[in-house]
Structure 1
């Protein structure tokens, strides 16, 4: 087992030693470290006690380093650099302030929200590389907890102590029908009138699929779901192809084919989604996440 190092020898005291060796003056060393002259003097004296050897000798009012002090300073430079590198790579392994940011997102947010976020983060941190990971709300939440993504843009999760969420915008939910359907000509659709219709939906875990289930709970019947898919763009194509009806968020309205109509639901439903940024609360001081959060907060103030 290696010889145990005295608790009098610390990184802070080694920093004080290096500051003094480089400036040759207690006052200048104290100024460089933003501490008092007394603190620097105590640190140097404490190092001598911990090493049990003389590091400095007095000549009048001057403190002069011995050969031992120069040897320790050389070692201290290596030790402090190694530790600083160790802290950096450890943080990078944990995703903290690394040069890459993995952002999760719902498929539907790639239309407008994700490009705006990526442009915003690039303006704040030009050297940061961003990677996009797509999935359902449930998938993204799991990846966030496991640390395989750094943050995610998705439907706001249920409040929990481990996750910090920043709401960005609310989105209305519409009844989606083929443009030549008689529903397309209605001012609003009451799902109770659709008991005998075929429906298509997203698979479990998507925020839109949970809203779909809630809407039919209000309508008080189980819809005839003829097909489930894993992304919202396939869902829109099924509607346009006449396979079935569904519910879609307004944010994808501008990119759907012209053969799909978005019709409001009646007031009984009042369906909305709240979209936001979520990340682990223990990483709330990560500079990359602070920049990302600032971009998303700015977007909440922009008209949609």
Structure 2
């Protein structure tokens, strides 16, 4: 079977027109017609009902079934080509979210340098959700991802590395700064400055507020943790961050959250399970996950 025929068939179903499908690939219309005929002969069934002019078509149930599988085959072939190219280049496409890059990665960077691995890195920054999608489609090879609790994703190998609690953040001198612990219910009227939607912190904050049945008064969101901390320090609002993201120099106080069975900010090394590891990538993975 010619995989090009499958690509022609998928595009034909997507566009619903032989002429447009031919134009997409820069081939003649009979080329698309012959591809469909070869597939119908291969599977022994009709895949497309078309009129004499080929101006309109109807996909049969068998055709819809083949279409779904052909889409998967196309994605897997594209991914295979990408991963083969990566193996030949000896580069490691590495995903690193900003918070983990700032507050966790420096702790392990020294041993990566000592092993001569950092020179192979092509680092992609982004939120954990974005990087997770890039792992799935093969755009990156391995990533350090944050999650609200243990991360479980079919098709991915996940190795937990570290975790830290989520906390309430206030400036030194704030009326709440001396509290030993707080619940979100006690903060229902407080203004919050938090990270943007799509960050792991936003998912965790929704868990805590749902547990206490409150809707937080969010006055500002930012995609930059440094900006969030500066605004908290200036008294714009209180914050919600992992304790890992707060350093003594920030002039902020972390207050534990009073809630049983709460999620923690968890950092994991993540890669596709079926990815064939080059020697360099294997060494990098070993260094990331070494105790």
- Return the TM-score normalized by structure 2: 0.65
- Mapped contact 1:175–1:245 kept (Cα < 8 A): yes
Distance 1:97 1:159, change over 3 A: farther
Indicate the structure (1 or 2) with the bigger Cα radius of gyration: 1
Find the counterpart in structure 2 of residue 242 from structure 1. Answer: 235
CA distance in structure 1 between the aligned counterparts of 2:169 and 2:201, rounded to whole angstroms: 13
CA distance in structure 2 between the aligned counterparts of 1:256 and 1:236, rounded to whole angstroms: 11
CA distance in structure 2 between the aligned counterparts of 1:151 and 1:234, rounded to whole angstroms: 28
- Mapped contact 1:199–1:227 kept (Cα < 8 A): yes
- Mapped contact 1:284–1:290 kept (Cα < 8 A): no
Of the three residues 88, 94, 112, the one matched with 1:103 is 94
What secondary structure is seen at the aligned counterpart in 2 of 1:111? helix
Root-mean-square deviation (CA, aligned residues, Å) is 2.3
TM-superposed CA distance for 1:103, in Å, is 1.6
Structure 2 counterparts to residues 201-220 of structure 1, below 5 A: 201-220=194-213
| Gaps in structure 1 of 5+ consecutive residues | 1-89
What secondary structure is seen at the aligned counterpart in 1 of 2:113? helix
Of the three residues 259, 280, 289, the one matched with 2:281 is 289
CA distance in structure 2 between the aligned counterparts of 1:203 and 1:219, rounded to whole angstroms: 21
What secondary structure is seen at the aligned counterpart in 1 of 2:262? coil
Structure 2 counterparts to residues 1-304 of structure 1, below 5 A: 94-96=85-87, 98-126=89-117, 128-156=119-147, 158-254=151-247, 257-258=250-251, 260-268=252-260, 270-298=262-290, 301=291
Find the counterpart in structure 2 of residue 86 from structure 1. Answer: none
What secondary structure is seen at the aligned counterpart in 1 of 2:269? strand
Cα shift readout 1:203-252 (whole Å, capped 9, x = no counterpart): 22211111111111111111111111112222111211111112111212
What secondary structure is seen at the aligned counterpart in 2 of 1:159? coil
CA distance in structure 2 between the aligned counterparts of 1:192 and 1:231, rounded to whole angstroms: 26
Find the counterpart in structure 2 of residue 37 from structure 1. Answer: none
TM-superposed CA distance for 1:163, in Å, is 1.1
Cα shift readout 1:91-114 (whole Å, capped 9, x = no counterpart): 776322633222211211123422
Distance 1:93 1:295, change over 3 A: same
CA distance in structure 1 between the aligned counterparts of 2:188 and 2:258, rounded to whole angstroms: 15
TM-superposed CA distance for 1:280, in Å, is 1.2
Find the counterpart in structure 1 of residue 46 from structure 2. Answer: none
Cα shift readout 1:16-58 (whole Å, capped 9, x = no counterpart): xxxxxxxxxxxxxxxxxxxxxxxxxxxxxxxxxxxxxxxxxxx
Distance 1:161 1:251, change over 3 A: same
CA distance in structure 1 between the aligned counterparts of 2:277 and 2:83, rounded to whole angstroms: 14
CA distance in structure 2 between the aligned counterparts of 1:95 and 1:229, rounded to whole angstroms: 34
CA distance in structure 2 between the aligned counterparts of 1:284 and 1:250, rounded to whole angstroms: 36
Cα shift readout 1:152-195 (whole Å, capped 9, x = no counterpart): 11124742332111100111111101212111111111111111
What secondary structure is seen at the aligned counterpart in 2 of 1:185? coil
